[in-house]
Structure 1
Amino acid sequence: MAKRGYTRPLRGNAGGTRMAEVAEKEQHGPDSEVGGIAADRLRSIVERIERLEEERKALASDIKDIFAEAKSAGFDVKVLRQVLRLRKQEPAEVEEQETLLDLYKRALGM
């Protein structure tokens, strides 16, 4: 059994690099790397995602409140959503869709 502070060379040790890797892992503590995964880095990523998801929930709630405000002011929320969708598109794309819609409506006698 190896003593603390000593790392015995592993098989296939090319130039002592594997031994240095094992020694580095021991220096960072047992929680630093688990099963080949950097636990601290993983924890950081998960916590950042959790914070952003909380922010997304808060933003969704704010947007819902704004739609409720628009509705109480007499705006049609369904049409407002369509306007928002159109504003995200390129002008040429919007024009093409409107042309096709007009063509389809005329073909159906609308």
Structure 2
Amino acid sequence: MLQGRRCAECGKLSLGAGHPCPFCGSEGGSAVALSGRGRLLSWTVIRVAPGRYAAEAPYAVGLLRLEEGLRLTARLEGDPERWSAGQAVSASKAIRNGGAQARP
């Protein structure tokens, strides 16, 4: 599950709990569960990956816009050639590396 944060000062929603608000710097706020549903805005295929990811290449990384309006980057599961802009995705937090992963 992806988690966001609603700022107690400015009321804006941001990604990740436990960090100061990126809009006003306030420390106060409450955790909000995010749907994870959204659309793929753009993506790239990593064919020559750095260090610990080298054995996993090729893989795709995309920019997603969630239903809540937030944008995030995520590792795209499956065949890196099957993705297309505007495609519906479902994002979730990955256990392995702490980043987000998305699937169609």
Which TM-score band (shorter chain)? under 0.3
Compare the two structures and name the one with the higher strand fraction. 2
TM-score, with length taken from structure 2: 0.19
Q: TM-score, normalised by structure 1?
A: 0.19
- Greater radius of gyration (CA): 1
